[in-house]
Amino acid sequence: MADSNVVTVTDSNFQEEVVSSSVPVLLDFWAPWCGPCKMIAPILDEIAKEKVGAVKVGKVDVDQNSGLASQFRISSIPTLLFFKNGQVADQVVGLKGKAELLSKLAALA
């Protein structure tokens, strides 16, 4: 996770980073050992760069933040949750293309 536009979300900063966010949030539930998670990471980095100020992209390491993983019933990763006004508005599970993710974000605008 080398991109500074991507926020690390944890059990302790979830309220501040996601619920209180003034822009829609794309939250990636992932783990370091997950192959598809590594494959989707560059796509999320691109979206974070292109949508600075319009969308917040965050990542939750499910191994380190099991509270959030269980709160949102994450059973397989990557799972991407789309938040608007602090509420889950959409969700995708598995490796998805950039166009599909951008279209889901556009629907939140």
What ranges do the domains of the chain cover? Answer: 6-108
What does each C-alpha distance from 35 to 4, 39, 42, 69, 92 come to in angstroms? Answer: 22, 6, 13, 18, 17
CA 104 to chain centre: 12
**Is CATH 3.40.30.10 the right assignment for the domain spanning 6-108?**
yes
Q: Which of 37, 40, 47, 80 is catalytic?
A: 37
- The rounded distance, in Å, linking the Cα atoms of 104 and 82 is 8
Q: Which of 6, 9, 18, 34 is catalytic?
A: 34
pLDDT at 109 over 90: no
- 37 is known as an active-site residue: yes
Residue 2 has what pLDDT? 47
Q: What are the tens digits of pLDDT across the range 52-102?
A: 999 999 999 999 999 999 999 999 999 999 999 999 999 999 999 999 999
| Ramachandran angles phi, psi of 101, nearest 5° | -65, -45
CB within 8 A of 106, min separation 6: which ones?
none
